[in-house]
Amino acid sequence: MDTNSTITGRTTTNSISSVRYMSVTAMLSAVAFILMFLDFSVPFMPAFIKMDLSELPALIGAFSMGPVCGILICLIKNVLHLFITTTGGVGELSNFLLGVAFVLPAGLIYRHKKSRRSALIGSLLGAVIMGVFSVVSNYFLVYPVYYNFMPEEAVLGAYQVIVPSMKNILQCLVCFNMPFTIVKGLFSVVITFLVYKHISPILKGANR
């Protein structure tokens, strides 16, 4: 047995895997960054709350390359967005943390047992965790920054136009933002399940 040839072969394989990992991460990060701009308003939500699917590439990356890849995609898209931010980085920090809360459980559970069932359980759990954490991040990080541009009373008023019985911001976040964020995650889950089987061989390449 030629030990040197074996070592060289393994090194080459590892190098190819590393290049593919970086390439896939970079490509999905670019897609996620672009998707951040394709946001849109939704009915029954204040106009300043937008829907986007920028977590979709991160979820795909977490399934195809592992949870760390998903986290890196969340990080890179938000670092890129820092150059055009109007929130002083607070919005990007919140978006990153929410993305991690979504893709990390999904990626970890799927890595433990690679099946459609585990992928579904992990991604649904991630969507719920992201929704719950959105209340915390918005209440303590994002909205205090918004209050510099839009008084708290005006923010509360935007929710009260939809549901007049809303009494405070925390109640608004629980009743509006949390389910909205969960639904946002579910959209990414549905699309991922529709496309993943078709694009997985391309993403994994030699790692299949």
Q: How many CB atoms are closer than 10 A to CB 126?
A: 28
Q: Look up the CATH number of the domain holding residue 15.
A: 1.10.1760.20
Residue by residue, pLDDT tens for the chain (208 residues) are 455 544 444 555 566 578 888 999 999 999 999 999 999 999 889 988 999 999 999 999 999 999 999 999 999 999 999 988 777 788 899 999 999 999 999 999 999 998 999 999 999 999 999 999 999 999 999 999 889 888 999 999 999 999 999 999 999 999 999 999 999 999 999 999 999 888 888 887 744 4
191 to 23, 34, 60, 65: CA distances (angstroms): 22, 17, 10, 18
| pLDDT at residue 86, rounded to an integer | 75
Eight-state DSSP code of residue 165: T
Which residues, in sequence order, are bridge partners of residue 40?
A: 51
| pLDDT at residue 12, rounded to an integer | 52
User: Is 44 within the bounds of a domain?
Assistant: no
User: Is 43 within the bounds of a domain?
Assistant: no
Report d(CA 34, CA 40) in Å as an integer: 13
User: Is 186 within the bounds of a domain?
Assistant: yes
- Tell me, letter by letter, the H, E, C secondary structure of 31-88: HHHHHCCCCEECCCCCCCCEECCCCHHHHHHHHHHCHHHHHHHHHHHHHHHHHHCCCC
User: Is 45 within the bounds of a domain?
Assistant: no
Instruction: Tell me the residue length of the chain.
Output: 208
Report d(CA 85, CA 53) in Å as an integer: 18
Question: Which domain, by its residues, includes 55?
Answer: 3-38+50-207
Work out how many domains the chain is built from and give that number. Answer: 1
Compute the chain's Rg from CA coordinates. 20
| pLDDT at residue 56, rounded to an integer | 96
| pLDDT at residue 16, rounded to an integer | 59
User: Is 66 within the bounds of a domain?
Assistant: yes
